[in-house]
Amino acid sequence: MTSNKTDLPYFSVVGIGAGPANLSLAALLQARTDQRIALFDKAADSSWHSSLLHPGVRMQTSWMKDLVSLVDPTHKLSFLNYLVTEGRLFAMINSQFDVIPRREYMRYLAWASGQIENIHYSTPIEEVSFVEGEGFYAISGGAPVARSQHLVIGVGTRPTVPAGLSSLPDDRAFIADHLALHLPTMSSDKTAPVAVIGGGQTGIEAVLRLLGAGFSNIKWLGRRQWFQTIDDSPAANEIYRPAHQQYLQDLTRGTRRRLVEDANPTGDALTPGVLRTLYQANYDRMLEFGEYPVAMLPGRDVTEGVLDGKDVVLHCSTAERLEQHRVAYAVIAVGRQSAPVPFSAELRERLDAGEDGDLVIEEDYSVRWKGMDDHRIYALNRARFSHGIPDANLTLLPVRAAMVINSMLGSELFQIRDELCPVQWG
């Protein structure tokens, strides 16, 4: 590419995405160093999954696991300092939340991002290129907007739509993120059957939103044989600490993947509190109307959806038979996948890939590529099968950010201590 580097702001690191992962990195880096970091995000502001902020929705992670506290508890951007600064500490304590409202966490992110320099919203990075001797170029609107020595990818995930449902009209079948947009139209007939496809946390939150809005014929379909709650036992939580992450690094890629898949119930499941809320709300409505408004249908793998007149017909396979369900609307909540990384074609050719085609991510979250000696690429939220389930959630955000900063600077700026672990991983 042709560049005029003198016209561009230069940073030690550019982060693609300004979600919790890169906010944690920027908060820690700016507090302890004079290194300059800039974050770019296509979103208009710091909203985080704002389309899923239904009333009563809770986080699945302890408030202690915020952007900074696990490695720097005295940091000014801790969640505790946020509560004190905003005057809500005692109100929060006395409300006795097991886990905080998701809307509170979003407000915390907005408060923190307002104190972090060089965050550029409404600036989607369409391409990242690399020029020898100059570094990385972040391109938006067809032109470079920043140049940097290092690059951190934190672009997050996006909802998936199974192929068998992709041909349905958008006004009849849509992802759970768009439920709030469709509710006004759907509410013209709250007795019409509505299916929620997906037995995970997003699925149950969509069911509760429909139930709270007065819908009385909701079919909740999940692929697993029961609606599984998270294993939140002390033993399960041993997986969510640096000691287990370090253990994984000494294993082969295949073994790591198998162990991570085995540990899915510790993170890829429902919070017990939200399932109890649904059961009680469903029971209350049954007492009022004589029947349950929510039919829970586990063990259903929805393979296809077709439009038949005014109905959406869902084809499902169960353990021993096939089923059909006729509904007016289908809300799709079957999971998320990593958003694509906007590498230029030339840069992509320099990246190493594993046998599964994924990026090869080292222990320090750096991506293996030709040119990484002086210019590092770090990948956040993309190392689930090499670093464990915590990589895909908020549990160890500051630990991961600290590891990246230590690697980037070549020194142990942050000491990551995980001692007195009672489990001896084999």
Domain ranges of the chain: 5-156+339-409, 160-229+269-336
Query: What is residue 341's DSSP assignment?
Result: P
Over residues 284-313, mean pLDDT: 96
User: Which of the two residues, 273 and 275, has the higher pLDDT score?
Assistant: 275
User: Which of the two residues, 355 and 227, has the higher pLDDT score?
Assistant: 227
Res. 330: pLDDT tops 60: yes
Domains 5-156+339-409 and 160-229+269-336 are alike in CATH topology = yes
Query: What is residue 51's DSSP assignment?
Result: G
pLDDT at 6: 60
User: Which two three-digit tokens encode residue 30?
Assistant: 């700016």
If we measure between CA atoms, which residue out of 2, 55, 11 comes closest to residue 30? 11
Over residues 399-412, mean pLDDT: 96
pLDDT at 191: 96
Res. 49: pLDDT tops 70: no
If we measure between CA atoms, which residue out of 63, 423, 70 comes closest to residue 233? 423
Tokens 């074609």 identify what position? 345
Res. 170: pLDDT tops 90: yes
Q: What percent of the chain has pLDDT over 70?
A: 96
Residue pLDDT, tens place only, 75-101: 999 999 999 999 999 999 999 988 888
pLDDT at 98: 80
pTM over 0.75: yes
Say if domain 5-156+339-409 classifies as CATH 3.50.50.60: yes
User: CB atoms < 10 A from the CB of 129, how many?
Assistant: 19
Phi-psi category of 56—alpha, beta or left, where left has phi over 0 and alpha has psi -120 to 50? left
Options 3.30.1490.20, 3.30.1600.10, 3.20.20.80, 3.50.50.60; which CATH number does 160-229+269-336 get? 3.50.50.60
Surface-to-core class of residue 12, CB atoms within 10 Å of its CB (0-12 exposed, 13-18 middle, 19+ buried): middle
Residue 180: alpha-carbon gap to chain centroid: 20
pLDDT at 48: 66
Res. 331: pLDDT tops 80: yes
Res. 351: pLDDT tops 60: yes
If we measure between CA atoms, which residue out of 97, 104, 133, 111 comes closest to residue 5? 133
